């Protein structure tokens, strides 16, 4: 009897080799350790500056250790969606979640393009359901979705017929030149363009004029007399694929969860948990994709690529979730704000994939529903005693305690946990009343939502915390990076917005680090691997890194003012360690950027912004958490402004300022360097016997000024390109106070 031919693999796991990079990693680590040894050997011969340098360089060495560990074993996955039909008889259903929270910061036209691109993906429409969460409770957003569904009925067939890649209409009509010259295609193309322009005009008019009272009737009556933060649940079935036809549009459901002033709503995590419950009640697909409102589909086969990774493994433990890298469209040339993360994705991102898998990035991620419900891998079971193992065999009483008091939802959750998520087709409008109950703001009280199951509460970066919880249960994750890229989003194009985003990240990450759900605890008491713990520490210490970064930036000015040193003299052999370390780091960074196809200018912009983000945005993230610990104020989830247009009034790439205190640390550091120059060249330094500052300290101070060059221009700029006078006054006061304190202290020791 002939041997049966096994079906082909749906994906390949490929180990990447970067021998030159490893050599640099080790070289820099050895130089850092040599520097620390040198500091310790000669610490008795030097003063405070030497000790401060030792402490800062110890922090930098630890950061380098966790960085090298994170990138040491890079891996990538190659998927073969064309093989799905040979291995899978029927594609599984997928529920898609799109979240938006503010119709001003996140314009409805942006959300609409994301939704339209999802409705047109290359996947059977009867297997998809798209849920849009509107935390702004905006009738304009709902109106936009209703109009978008009408356009999508024309757009989806057009895309599939002509194999259009960019399925967000704004992207297609603005960037692609039609290659098909047939008269039939040209006629359809012009018709679709006219239809989209009409849609965009309707939405823009609705945004500008707002939805007036006359429209708030009929289907819009639910939006009358409501407040954004005080309203009942609103659930609307915008479109239902009643016949379950694969060539029609997927289901489209609008959700605005209940909000009341005295009830915590947990920001995006709370919205995701409502989406999870409502979708579990209505369609209960075994897999879920979540996207931010600005992340449109760039690869129409992305759902099939993800299914290769979710279904192609012998052990589902290998793919607890599938994360797609976050890339952006129309990125500014040379990445002036250092927020496109191309190099980070290529090297550190692929390295973390080779450990226990990538972090959950909050968007572009495919989840197993049962994993979100708290399920552990089969071979892990309840061995991780610090975690509650949720499974389908729990008693009804236990399930009600975890999932809430809705028996209908508990039944759907049990089916998902048992791998029986494909419920018989139901008429969606008939489920709205039950869905209202589980979307209420009081439903989660006394349940496991946000702690044991669902998206996790307690951090402004709910994505990292949720992914950490999944990894702690013993699941692995995989990275899906097809060509062309899966999703594309918009990136902040002006300075203050980018800084605000960095501050929120630093705040949320530090909240996780100081909580009882940190990776160290997960490694000791659960199933998080040790190197994955180091990888999480690499990102969670972003905020704390601001402290040694600020101290090291101030150190050259301190030494010049007090006429002390933290560097060896040029003629001392130890200077070779510093020079070799500096050159190795610079050459290594340039190598990574050039290999990624980026420019030297992009490398410099990212280096410069790394210093400015650390000393400004990250530092204020630390202050926010510190104030939260003291009970003075709570952390606030700050929505990042999104803009579909590449026209920002000529501000692209130019650093702008506002009156936010976030710019005070950077301005203060700059003024300290300038004060040190005046004192150094003006002969106003304090007297010194044998440890005077020299050329090294002066060059380091110059380097700090170059890194903060946008602030130098801001001192002399006008309007939004200039640092506000109030910020300059605050920074001047801090600088003068610093100079007075250090000179007084140094004079007292003479």
Between CA 209 and CA 212 the distance in angstroms is 8
Residue 197 marked in a binding site: no
Task: Please give the full DSSP string across 271-335, using - where no structure is assigned.
Answer: HHHHHHHHHHHHT--SEEEEEETT-EESSTTHHHHHHHHHHS-SSGGGGSEEE---EESSPPTT-
Nearest Cα to Cα of residue 641 among 98, 99, 97, 103: 103
Tokens coding 139: 């009738």
Using CA atoms, how far residue 622 sits from 122, 482, 711, in Å, is: 44, 37, 22
Q: How many helices (H) and strands (E) does the chain have?
A: 27, 13
User: Distances in Å between the alpha carbon of 537 and those of 365, 514, 546?
Assistant: 22, 11, 15
DSSP string, 525-566: HSS--HHHHHHHHHHHTTTTTHHHHHHHHHHHHHHHHHT--S
268 labelled as ligand-binding?
yes
Q: How far apart are CA 609 and CA 615, in angstroms?
A: 10
691 is in an annotated binding site: no
**661-670 per-residue burial string, b: 16 or more CB within 10 A, e: under 16:** ebbbbbbbbb
3 state SS of 75: strand
3-state secondary structure of 227: strand
Q: Would you name the residues annotated as active-site residues?
A: 135, 463
Phi/psi at 256 (nearest 5 deg)?
-125, 105
Measure Cα distances from 315 to 93, 247, 299, 307, 563 in Å: 20, 32, 27, 14, 64
Question: Which tokens belong to 332?
Answer: 């500014």
CB atoms within 10 A of CB 351: 25
Backbone φ and ψ for 89, nearest 5 degrees, come out as -70, -40
Residue 135 marked as a ligand binder: yes
How far is the CA of 701 from the CAs of 276, 554, 649, 679, 683, in angstroms?
Answer: 53, 8, 34, 13, 17
- Residue 365, token pair as written in the block: 């991620």
> Which residue numbers belong to the known binding site for Mn(2+)?
268, 292
Query: What residues form the annotated binding site?
Result: 106, 135, 268, 292
Annotation: binding site for UDP-alpha-D-glucose: 106, 135
């Amino acid at each position: 009897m002939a041997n049966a031919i096994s079906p082909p693999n749906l994906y390949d796991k490929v180990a990447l080799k970067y021998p030159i990079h490893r050599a640099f990693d080790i070289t820099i680590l050895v130089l850092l350790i040599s520097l620390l040894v040198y500091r310790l050997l000669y610490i008795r011969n030097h003063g405070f500056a030497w000790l401060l340098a030792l402490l800062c360089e110890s922090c930098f060495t630890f950061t380098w250790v966790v960085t090298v560990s994170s990138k040491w074993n890079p891996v990538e996955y190659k998927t073969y969606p064309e093989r799905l039909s040979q291995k899978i008889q029927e594609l599984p259903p997928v529920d898609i979640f799109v979240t938006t929270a503010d119709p001003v910061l996140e314009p409805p036209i942006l959300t609409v393009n994301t939704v339209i691109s999802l409705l047109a993906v290359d996947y059977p429409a009867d297997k998809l359901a798209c849920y849009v969460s509107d935390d702004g409770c905006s009738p304009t957003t709902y109106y936009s979705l209703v109009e978008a569904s009408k356009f999508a009925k024309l757009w989806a067939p057009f895309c599939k017929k002509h194999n259009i890649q960019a399925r967000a209409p704004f992207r297609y009509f603005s960037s692609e030149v039609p290659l098909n010259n047939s008269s039939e295609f040209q006629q359809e193309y012009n018709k679709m363009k006219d239809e989209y322009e009409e849609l965009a005009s309707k939405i823009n008019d609705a945004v500008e004029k707002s939805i007036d009272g006359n429209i708030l009737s009929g289907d819009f009556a639910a939006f009358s007399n409501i407040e954004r933060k005080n309203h009942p649940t609103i659930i609307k079935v915008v479109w239902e694929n009643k016949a379950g036809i694969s060539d029609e549009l997927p289901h489209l459901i609008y959700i605005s969860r209940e909000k009341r002033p005295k009830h915590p709503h947990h920001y995006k995590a709370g919205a995701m948990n409502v989406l999870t419950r409502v979708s579990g009640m209505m369609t209960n697909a075994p897999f879920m994709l979540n996207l931010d409102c600005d992340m449109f589909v760039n690869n129409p086969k992305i759902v099939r690529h993800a299914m290769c990774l979710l279904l192609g493994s012998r052990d589902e433990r290998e793919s607890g979730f599938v994360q797609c890298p976050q890339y952006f469209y129309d990125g500014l040339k040379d990445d002036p704000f250092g927020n496109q993360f191309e190099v980070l994705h290529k090297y550190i991102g692929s390295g973390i994939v080779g450990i226990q898998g990538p972090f959950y990035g909050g968007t572009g991620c495919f989840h197993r529903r049962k994993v979100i419900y708290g399920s552990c891998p089969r071979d892990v079971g309840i061995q991780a005693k610090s975690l509650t193992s949720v499974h389908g065999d729990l008693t009804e009483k236990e399930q009600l305690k975890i999932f809430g008091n809705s028996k209908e939802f508990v039944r759907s959750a049990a089916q998902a946990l048992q791998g029986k998520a494909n419920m018989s087709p139901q008429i969606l409008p008939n489920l709205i009343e039950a869905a209202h109950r589980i979307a209420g703001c009081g439903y989660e009280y006394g349940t496991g939502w946000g702690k044991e199951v669902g998206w996790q509460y307690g951090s402004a970066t709910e994505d990292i915390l949720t992914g950490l919880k999944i990894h702690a249960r013993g699941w692995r994750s995989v990275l899906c990076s097809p060509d062309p890229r899966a999703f594309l989003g918009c990136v902040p194009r002006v300075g203050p917005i980018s800084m605000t985003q960095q501050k929120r990240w630093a705040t949320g990450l530090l909240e996780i680090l100081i909580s009882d759900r940190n990776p160290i605890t997960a490694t000791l008491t659960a199933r998080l691997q040790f190197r994955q713990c180091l990888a999480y520490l690499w990102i969670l210490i972003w905020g704390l890194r601001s402290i040694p970064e600020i101290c090291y930036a101030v150190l050259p000015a301190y030494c010049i003012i007090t006429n002390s040193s933290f560097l060896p003299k040029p003629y001392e052999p130890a200077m070779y360690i510093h020079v070799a370390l500096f050159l190795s780091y610079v050459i290594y960074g340039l190598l990574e950027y050039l290999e990624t196809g980026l420019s030297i200018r992009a490398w410099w912009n990212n280096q410069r912004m790394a210093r400015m983000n650390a000393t400004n945005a990250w530092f204020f993230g630390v202050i926010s958490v510190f104030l939260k610990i003291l009970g003075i104020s709570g952390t606030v989830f700050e929505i990042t402004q999104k803009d579909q247009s590449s026209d920002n009034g000529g501000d692209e790439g130019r650093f702008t300022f506002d009156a936010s205190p976030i710019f005070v640390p950077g301005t203060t550091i700059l003024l300290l360097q300038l004060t040190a120059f005046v004192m150094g060249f003006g002969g106003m330094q304090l007297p010194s016997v044998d440890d005077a500052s020299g050329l090294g300290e002066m060059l380091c101070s110059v380097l700090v000024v170059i890194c903060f060059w946008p602030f130098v221009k801001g001192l002399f700029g006008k309007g939004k390109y200039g640092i506000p006078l109030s910020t300059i006054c605050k920074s001047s006061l801090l600088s003068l106070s610093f100079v007075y304190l250090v000179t007084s202290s140094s004079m007292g020791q003479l």
